[in-house]
Amino acid sequence: MFDASTDGPSFEAFWDRSLRDGWTRRSDPAVAALHFDVSQVPSSVPATSRALGTLVLIGYPTVALLDGRQAFNPWLLELPDPVTKVTWESGASVSPATARVLGVSDGDLIRIAPARDAEWASKATADDLTVEVPIVVQPGQHDDVIAVPIGYGQRATQRFAGIGPRWLGADTSDRARVGANIAPLLARARPGEGVAPTPVRVTVVGRRRELARTQDHSWLQASGRDAWGTEASGALIRFAEAGTAPRPTQSETEPGGPDLWPDERQQLGPRWGMAIDLDACTGCSACVVACQVENNTPVVGRDEVRRHREMHWLRIDRYYLERPSGVAVAHQPMTCHQCGHAPCETVCPVLATTRSSDGLNQQIYSRCVGTRYCMNNCPFKVRRFNWFDYAHDERMENLVLNPDVTVRSRGVAEKCTFCVQRIQDARLAARLRGEEPADGDIVPACAQTCAASAITFGDLNDPHSRVRARTGDGRAYTLLEGLNLQPAITYLAMQRRDRSPDDDVDGN
Amino acid sequence: MSMATDPPARMPEASASSEQGALTRAMTDLGGAALGRPLRGWWACFAVAVLALAVGVVAVTYQLRTGIGTWGLNRSVGWAYDITNFVFWIGVGHAGTLISAILLLFRQRWRAGVSRAAETMTIIAIVCAAIFPVIHLGRPWLMLWVLPLPNSRGPLWVNFSSPLTWDVFAILTYFVVSLLFWYLGLLPDFASLSHAATGWRRRVFGLLSLGWNGSLRTWARYERTCLLLAGLATALVISVHSVVSFDFAASLVPGWHTTIFPPYFVVGAIFSGMAMVLALLVVMRRAMALQSYVTLQQLDAMCKIMLATSGLLGLAYLIETMTALYGNHGPDRFMLMLRMQGPLAAYYWAMIACNVLVPQLLWSGRVRRNRPLVFAIALLALAGMWLERFLIIVGSLQRDFLPSGWVDYLPTRIEVATLVGSFGLFLVCFLLFCRWLPVVSIAESRAGHRTRLRVADR
């Protein structure tokens, strides 16, 4: 630890400094630069794998757990995967065609074992190399591939499997580790070659394990009984042509006809709003975790997510679109739109949800009696309900809470506040300086965390704010315009060009 | 006013000797149970009802202690069994008000034999219904906050633009008026019972009769009050379920947001209420030997009301379909297709069968006089009406604007137990009524006897 060449000649001085700082610097040997030789990467799909029941296993790191180093964080275990939307599970993704061949659907357990001809497999026992995972049918996936996230199934993750409210109907049978570890299955040929795709044998177990999934319906162009999907939901994700003309400014788009319900709540101060660039959003879900951490949103556990009671205030809706080039995926961050004409406000019998002077739709927890009428009437379904008492008395667990945000009790509704605590903080700081907060002073947790800067927050009433400028963008649109909700969130449409077969790979 | 000069319609002619015989007979037949005569099979029925009630009490107690999470609700489906049961029971209550108010105003004599049972059923049904909006709250201990009570929290008032607030007023009014009507009808009977009884019963019934003396003036005032209350209650028959339907019609949810709901709900309510009265009376008539008071003619008339309301209900379903098809409005058409072919399609077709198709059997007089068959049709109608409300509530909520919010719903055992419990409560109360009060108005049956002498009803 002590190195006279870097730490100085005196051990005493080094010791005192280390005690005072609480840390020491350790010099590591210089790391030799690794070089990456593309020609050494094995072909991802061996041509011989076409046989029924033989698939190629690919282990992939998820954004939440990476290689598994974050497997001990319940926030991340409950974070829906950006594409599969599965939580608390390492599901095996297969294409719809392969699922049909195997005769399985979402949640059917399969057993993955090494292919018979893999000589490396004979060295280990079959038990070591067999994992049981539930199926996740993944549109757009290669038919020969079975993809399972790595980093799951770690020792000591059992304690998270049973997280959640304890009650009569709670399914507490799952006491195993979270997910399954597929590392032993992945062929490691020689050191330095990394993890190679592995031919595996897949057998159907015949049992099921329901997925804890946050989104069940994902197609924007549905057929048959879901035909409405094409009409109403087609407008959810919009595609813009490059170079679209700027949108008329807000005052011009305001409905000109007489309003049966004149707005008595004149907006004098700021009107907080958000613009979300769907083109920039990668669906990485960092904002979801940021929101959860900032706003003391509880982790509810696998059983509750299965019952569709996840508490995330901000979610990312993921839609599939059938395009000429295959299945496209669109991500749409979805949170409270802080509507000007808020459907939740009119229906609450006790005025527990009202509009603030700065245009926020505020939820008053202490006034809420829990009729859930607001949740029913919310067209975006962004309101959440405290089905149980999620707050706990444990000191250690409470250390994680944000002291600026109320911890909600059982039986009240809650939803995104646009991080009102940060708004108030910034306004207070500005007031002490004798001014109003400048554009960009207020950054909600989601916007702060977004690596792609897809979220712009600011005052819609300020003609010079960035968010105001974005609402005039040619790609700007609001959701469910026909309902005249006057939402404070504006989306910027995606610009997509369909890949033609002769385009090169990255021509998306 | 003619009322003051004509002999009051329901006042018995004390001089007629046949009336005296009828009085004695009515007293023994109808007042017997109240005066201590045992009822056949009562204890067995009561035991079953208490058991069902106990199941419900246990379930509700557990839910209140643990949280609404013990129900199968989720982030998209915020109401399911709770509000379905609420609307169902409120609807069932409508028959009593209809019979006691509208049919009184129209001077439908046949109502005499059934009005007491129907009115009692109404009161009990409102109680059963009112439990659900209370226990469905996330924090039921704060239920008084939905009332505009003076409070210490500054100018904090209820939200008068919320249909739930209208609900509170509508149902409380309905309960009070129904209770008044019911008690008023019981006054002359309490007096008769007090005369016939001995010991503590005499004192209790005497107190309950509020000093009824049976004079001409008392009767005249009684009749006038009844008519006045009937006028009030008539408006309530229409208004209560209209207001309940506003919970849905005034919202944004596709499948709820529709102008046809108020009449559609009122008709459905009368249909289910008649079904409940029929089911109860068919059993009571046999178990309590009331054949000469609750006649086949009366059952027949109620069957006809059921048939008529079933037709209206069918019309409402048809109009809903036509509006969706003609309107060319995406969400409406989607909702229609969803009901007919979606995950709850089986419920939809079962509802059509129970509410529209099966009641068509009542066109036949033979069916209307076949009591077991009428009983079965009535039970099916009740099931159908419950399904209708379930479909409207859950079917709409589980598929609204954003496909990402589409979530299916499954009830938990706790929820099913609350439904069982509400039936238990209903039956316990109704059986207690059978045991302690005259199930057919003694006063009216004496007046009715006079009519029967003129019109043979067999």
What are the structure tokens assigned to B346, written together? Answer: 């089986």
pTM above the 0.90 mark? no
User: Which of A381, A481, A485 to probe by mutation at the B interface, max B CB count within 10 Å?
Assistant: A381
pLDDT over 60 (residue B381): yes
In a domain, A100, yes or no: yes
Is residue A303 domain-shared with residue A369, that is, in the same domain? yes
Is residue A122 domain-shared with residue A249, that is, in the same domain? no
Is residue A277 domain-shared with residue A404, that is, in the same domain? yes
Tell which wins on pLDDT, A165 or A290: A290
pLDDT class of A53 with cuts at 50, 70, 90: low
Indicate yes or no: CB of A165 within 8 angstroms of CB of B405. Answer: no
- What is the C-alpha to C-alpha distance for residues A314 and A294, in angstroms, rounded to an integer? 12
**pLDDT number for residue B284:** 87
- What is the C-alpha to C-alpha distance for residues B92 and B431, in angstroms, rounded to an integer? 17
- What is the C-alpha to C-alpha distance for residues A308 and A331, in angstroms, rounded to an integer? 20
- What is the C-alpha to C-alpha distance for residues A200 and A56, in angstroms, rounded to an integer? 6
- What is the C-alpha to C-alpha distance for residues B422 and B426, in angstroms, rounded to an integer? 6
Nearest to B22 by CA among B451, B458, B457: B451
- What is the C-alpha to C-alpha distance for residues A68 and A297, in angstroms, rounded to an integer? 23
pLDDT over 50 (residue B225): yes
- Which residue is listed with tokens 């009802």? B49
Is residue A179 domain-shared with residue A228, that is, in the same domain? no
Q: Report yes or no: B183 at the A interface, CB cutoff 8 Å.
A: no
In a domain, A261, yes or no: no
Percent share of chain A, pLDDT over 70: 78
User: Which of B257, B325, B401 to probe by mutation at the A interface, max A CB count within 10 Å?
Assistant: B401
Q: What is the average pLDDT value for chain A, to the nearest integer?
A: 81
pLDDT over 90 (residue B356): yes
Per-residue pLDDT tens for B176-187? 999 998 898 889
Indicate yes or no: CB of A232 within 8 angstroms of CB of B330. Answer: yes
CA A63 to chain centre: 9
pLDDT over 90 (residue A248): no
- What is the C-alpha to C-alpha distance for residues A366 and A453, in angstroms, rounded to an integer? 35
What are the structure tokens assigned to B26, written together? Answer: 């009515």
Identify which of A498-507, B52-61, B86-95 has the greatest average pLDDT.
B52-61
Is residue A205 domain-shared with residue A245, that is, in the same domain? no
Q: What is the average pLDDT value for chain B, to the nearest integer?
A: 85
What are the structure tokens assigned to B412, written together? Answer: 């938990």
Is residue A74 domain-shared with residue A149, that is, in the same domain? yes
Distances (CA, A) of A342 to A3, A236, B252, B344: 66, 19, 11, 30
Over residues B296-302, the mean pLDDT reads 86
**pLDDT number for residue A194:** 55
In chain B, which residue's Cα lies nearest the Cα of A376?
Answer: B78
Q: Which residues of A touch B72 (CB under 8 A)?
A: 307
pLDDT over 60 (residue A251): no
Give the closest of A232, A307, A376 to B79, CB-based. Answer: A376
What are the structure tokens assigned to A79, written together? Answer: 């974070």
Give the closest of B138, B157, B158 to A412, CB-based. Answer: B138
Q: Report yes or no: B161 at the A interface, CB cutoff 8 Å.
A: yes
Over residues A441-457, the mean pLDDT reads 94
CB neighbourhood size of A159 (10 A): 12
What are the structure tokens assigned to B167, written together? Answer: 């609900």
User: Which of B402, B406, B414 to probe by mutation at the A interface, max A CB count within 10 Å?
Assistant: B402
Over residues B416-437, the mean pLDDT reads 93
pLDDT class of A138 with cuts at 50, 70, 90: very high
Q: Determine phi and psi for A322, rounding to 5 degrees.
A: -80, 115
Q: CA of A50, closest CA in chain B: separation in Å? A: 35
For β-strands A131-137 and A92-94, DSSP reports them as parallel
**pLDDT number for residue A174:** 73
Helix (H) or strand (E) holding B21: helix B17-31
CA A275 to chain centre: 18
pLDDT class of B18 with cuts at 50, 70, 90: low
In a domain, A26, yes or no: no
Distances (CA, A) of B302 to B87, B88, B126, B455: 22, 19, 21, 19
**Residue A29, Cβ density class (10 Å: 0-12 exposed, 13-18 middle, ≥19 buried):** exposed
Q: 3-class SS at A133?
A: strand
Q: Report yes or no: B380 at the A interface, CB cutoff 8 Å.
A: no
**pLDDT number for residue A191:** 53
Q: Which residues of A touch B136 (CB under 8 A)?
A: 371-372
Indicate yes or no: CB of B139 within 8 angstroms of CB of A370. Answer: yes
In a domain, A118, yes or no: yes
Q: Report yes or no: B69 at the A interface, CB cutoff 8 Å.
A: yes
Q: Report yes or no: B162 at the A interface, CB cutoff 8 Å.
A: yes
Nearest to A170 by CA among A415, A348, A387: A387
Nearest to B177 by CA among B101, B99, B263, B247: B101
Percent share of chain A, pLDDT over 90: 43
Is B108 in contact with B128 (CB distance < 8 Å)?
Answer: no
- What is the C-alpha to C-alpha distance for residues B313 and B352, in angstroms, rounded to an integer? 10
Give the closest of B251, B341, B403 to A217, CB-based. Answer: B403
pLDDT class of B28 with cuts at 50, 70, 90: low
- What is the C-alpha to C-alpha distance for residues A99 and A110, in angstroms, rounded to an integer? 11
Is A473 in contact with A494 (CB distance < 8 Å)?
Answer: no
Over residues B351-377, the mean pLDDT reads 92
Is A139 in contact with A320 (CB distance < 8 Å)?
Answer: yes
Identify which of A414-418, B285-289, B337-341 has the greatest average pLDDT.
A414-418
Q: b vs e for B157-172, b when ≥16 Cβ sit within 10 Å of the residue's Cβ?
A: ebbeebbbbbbbbbbe
Q: Provide the CATH number for the domain around residue A189.
A: 2.40.40.20
Indicate yes or no: CB of B251 within 8 angstroms of CB of A384. Answer: no
Interacting residues of A443 by C-beta distance below 8 A, sequence separation 6+: A422, A457
Q: How many domains does chain A have?
A: 2
In a domain, A374, yes or no: yes
Is residue A296 domain-shared with residue A428, that is, in the same domain? yes
Q: Report yes or no: B159 at the A interface, CB cutoff 8 Å.
A: yes
pLDDT over 70 (residue A232): no
In chain B, which residue's Cα lies nearest the Cα of A224?
Answer: B337
Per-residue pLDDT tens for A293-326? 999 999 999 999 999 999 999 999 998 887 777 7
Give the closest of A334, A347, A367 to B164, CB-based. Answer: A347
pLDDT over 50 (residue B174): yes
Torsion angle, alpha carbons of B369, B375, B378, B384, to 10? -140
DSSP state of B70: G
Which of A165-174, A227-236, B406-415, B441-450 is least confident?
Answer: A227-236
In a domain, A113, yes or no: yes
What are the structure tokens assigned to B120, written together? Answer: 């009692």
In a domain, A32, yes or no: no
Q: Which residues of A touch B403 (CB under 8 A)?
A: 217-220, 222, 226, 229, 233, 236, 319
Amino acid identity for residue A275 in this structure: A
Tell which wins on pLDDT, B103 or A57: A57
Residues spanned by the domain of A455: 224-255+266-492
Is residue A87 domain-shared with residue A136, that is, in the same domain? yes
Q: Which residues of B touch A368 (CB under 8 A)?
A: 138-139
Amino acid identity for residue A31 in this structure: V
SS (H, E, C) A25-64: CCCCCCCCCCCCCHHHCCCCCCHHHHCCCEEEEEEECECC
Q: Determine phi and psi for A331, rounding to 5 degrees.
A: -110, 140
pLDDT over 90 (residue B307): yes
Q: Determine phi and psi for B20, rounding to 5 degrees.
A: -60, -45
User: Domain-by-domain residue ranges, chain B?
Assistant: 40-454
pLDDT class of A402 with cuts at 50, 70, 90: very high
- What is the C-alpha to C-alpha distance for residues B55 and B420, in angstroms, rounded to an integer? 7
pLDDT class of A119 with cuts at 50, 70, 90: low
Is residue A55 domain-shared with residue A112, that is, in the same domain? yes
**pLDDT number for residue A225:** 41
Q: Which residues of A touch B75 (CB under 8 A)?
A: 308-310, 375, 381, 383-385
Amino acid identity for residue B359 in this structure: P
Is residue A354 domain-shared with residue A298, that is, in the same domain? yes
Indicate yes or no: CB of B333 within 8 angstroms of CB of A216. Answer: no
Q: Which residues of A touch B168 (CB under 8 A)?
A: 349
- Which residue is listed with tokens 């009977």? B189
- Which residue is listed with tokens 């033989």? A54
Distances (CA, A) of B49 to B42, B91, B424: 10, 21, 5
Indicate yes or no: CB of B397 within 8 angstroms of CB of A376. Answer: yes
Nearest to B194 by CA among B181, B211, B178, B180: B211
Terminal Cα-to-Cα distance of chain A (whole angstroms): 51
pLDDT over 80 (residue A26): no
For β-strands A54-60 and A145-149, DSSP reports them as parallel
Over residues A3-16, the mean pLDDT reads 79
- What is the C-alpha to C-alpha distance for residues B273 and B277, in angstroms, rounded to an integer? 6
Tell which wins on pLDDT, A125 or B371: B371
SS (H, E, C) B83-139: HHHHHHHHHHHHHHHHHHHHHHHCCCHHHHHHHHHHHHHHHHHHHHHHHHHHHCCCC
Q: CA of B347, closest CA in chain A: separation in Å? A: 16
Amino acid identity for residue B258 in this structure: T
pLDDT class of A228 with cuts at 50, 70, 90: very low
Q: CA of B313, closest CA in chain A: separation in Å? A: 25
- What is the C-alpha to C-alpha distance for residues B236 and B119, in angstroms, rounded to an integer? 14
What is the length of chain B? 458
Is residue A142 domain-shared with residue A238, that is, in the same domain? no
Indicate yes or no: CB of B142 within 8 angstroms of CB of A369. Answer: yes
Indicate yes or no: CB of B79 within 8 angstroms of CB of A224. Answer: no
**pLDDT number for residue A483:** 82
Q: CA of B54, closest CA in chain A: separation in Å? A: 18
CA B22 to chain centre: 31
pLDDT over 60 (residue A491): yes
In a domain, A10, yes or no: no
pLDDT over 60 (residue B1): no
